[in-house]
A and B are shown apart, each in its own frame.
Chain A
Amino acid sequence: MSHDAKVPDLWASQDAPQAAPLAGSTLASLWRPINELLEWFGEIGVFVWQVMRATVRRPFEGRELMRQLDEVGAKSLPMVAMAGAAIGAVLALESRHSLIRFGAKAMLPAAIVFSIIHETGPVVTGLVVSGRVGAGIGAELGSMKVTEQIDAIEASGVNPYKLLAFTRILACVLMLPLLTLAADFAGVATGWIATTLAEPMSFQKFLHAGFAGASFSDFLAPTFRTMVFGLIIGVIACFQGMRSQGGTEGVGRSATSSVVLSSLFVMLADVILTKLILVFFP
């Protein structure tokens, strides 16, 4: 063997045995989260397919749907309205100083109204419902899963994807736009209150100035955008709940992951949908 040939031999005997496992473990640690992410998307895809398949078959679970509409809609209303009200008041207080500085005080009602109906109302509603309803669904279905209640439903010949998942998802989709309207109204109302406390103005005049340049599409597209938020919240919370395992700890994980993931995807969807709305409703 030549002298040159010994160099790789030395490397092979000393460095390679240490470097190869290191590179392997680094690759494995990089690959694992990617693999888990791909698995998660695959599983949620299968879940959505099962829900869609269940949806077209009778019965249509009207009774459970009504219960969920109440749970998602009526019971979220106070929290959503309060969040909208707080945002409206803060917007009025913050915007007033900025607009006065730029000599555009007359634009204050329009700034508040546009900001609320275009962005703040839908996003705040989406995030509040992610927190309240997402955690609720994740914990409820998670608890039902670990105590075999979902198995009991299935064993009695009832499709749990329809009874539990479809009704909750549909309730989220239908209720989000209505809750957004409530948040918008509360935000505009407290925006006016904050404005009129600094400089008295009638509510009618405030609304007239606020909606002066607004068209129907300004209002419609952002509000119905929240149906997508509802779909995201419902699907993720039901999926995380129904795959729960590991007792009470697993239920806690399902509730937390429902909130975190649905909030994350709501914000991501917000960016994408805002861009699409600007393209299609310029």
Chain B
Amino acid sequence: MTPTDQVIAPTAARGPNPAAGNAGPKDDGPAMVLKDIHKSFEGQVVLNGIDLTVGSGKTLAVLGRSGTGKSVLLRLIIALQKPDSGSIQIHGQEITSVGLEAINEIRKTMGFLFQHAALYDSLTVEENVAFPLRRHSKLTAAERADRVKELLTGVGMESDLKKMPSELSGGMQKRVGLARALALEPSILLLDEPTAGLDPITSREIDELILKLQEERDVASIVVTHDLHSAKTIADRIVLLHQGNAVIEGTFEELERSDDEFVAEFFKRDS
């Protein structure tokens, strides 16, 4: 059994976990709908009218050159920043106009993996993964410990429970970050460069994990990545951002066949 098999099997058997504060999607519509999103920083336009839709169980990969607003897009979806204009709906609920309490409820249905993992450096690996469970679930201490172990086993970090984040390599930190993002069994996953800086084997394991989450738990994911191979493996659709706009959206094959000069240039390096 691979690490990814271990994390998926019990999760799939349980389904959405109301005890963990995640009652799952409220409707059968798309998990995420972004309409005409605009965002600027000090006059510099970063996103200029982005429209995206991601259905349950689907994965959208966001590609683009560095500094094109890919990470900003994820931060807008989890309401860490507000768009200048436009609409963001999560499971049918508009998040740009609701209060903090409602946003926090929505955030419990989402898992976010930060680009540099953003582990709490005063907590151990175990405490980091237990953090969302301790805050939002009614699990007992023993159940929480079991769940943490299960999650860490799933990302191959079960032997590092007591280590501090400073004792881990970048790749290990990212795996712990992924385990933390999965703790509340989210119905939406936002992954900011999940395979950057990882060795090929771990990258493949992370890709497999995302695929299994898609298949078995209907998790909708947006993955920001520079890794074309990973995008090809995990994404149903790919969107390419350039100068604040979505230049093209489609399957990997569609993008590969595109006549657009920028798209062709982007895909040339790996082909």
Contact = CB atoms under 8 A, between A and B. Distances in A.
A77 B21 CA distance: 41
A217 interface: no
Nearest to B103: A157
A7 B241 CA distance: 61
Interface stretch (A39-47, A97-105, A143-151, A187-195): A143-151
Interface residues of A, number: 16
Contacts of B80: 151, 154-155
A148 B114 contact: yes
Contacts of B237: none
B266 interface: no
B98 interface: no
Nearest to B106: A157
Interface residues of B, number: 24
Interface string A119-158: 0000000000000000000000001100111011111111
B135 interface: yes
A22 B201 CA distance: 64
Interface string A7-27: 000000000000000000000
A157 B104 contact: yes
Contact of B104 (A59, A143, A144, A159): A159
A149 B132 contact: no
Contacts of A143: 121
Contact of B116 (A144, A148, A155, A157): A148
Contacts of B112: 152, 155-156
Contacts of B78: 155
A70 B75 CA distance: 35
A149 B180 CA distance: 13
A149 B104 contact: no
Contacts of B116: 147-148
B114 A151 contact: yes
Interface string B197-233: 0000000000000000000000000000000000000
A157 B118 CA distance: 15
Given A157-B135, A157-B136, A152 B104 contact: no
A157 B114 contact: no
A57 B102 CA distance: 13
Given A157-B104, A157-B107, A152 B114 contact: yes
Contacts of B132: 156-157
B105 interface: yes
Given A149-B120, A151-B80, A152-B120, A159 B100 contact: yes
Nearest to A163: B135
A147 B166 CA distance: 13
Interface string B73-110: 00100101000000000000000000011001101101
A109 to B, nearest CB: 46
Contact of B121 (A149, A151, A154, A159): A149
B100 A155 contact: no
A152 B118 contact: yes
Contacts of A155: 78, 80, 107, 110, 112
Contacts of A156: 107-108, 112, 131-132, 135-136, 180
Given A147-B116, A156-B136, 10 more contacts: A143-B121, A144-B121, A148-B118, A149-B118, A151-B114, A152-B120, A155-B110, A156-B107, A156-B112, A157-B136
Interface of A: 57, 59, 143-144, 147-149, 151-159
20 contacts: A59-B135, A143-B121, A148-B114, A148-B115, A151-B80, A151-B114, A152-B118, A152-B119, A152-B120, A153-B120, A156-B131, A156-B132, A156-B136, A156-B180, A157-B104, A157-B105, A157-B107, A157-B132, A158-B135, A159-B100
> What 9 A-B pairs have minimum CB-CB distances, sorted nearest first?
A148-B118, A157-B107, A152-B118, A157-B104, A155-B112, A156-B132, A157-B108, A148-B114, A155-B78
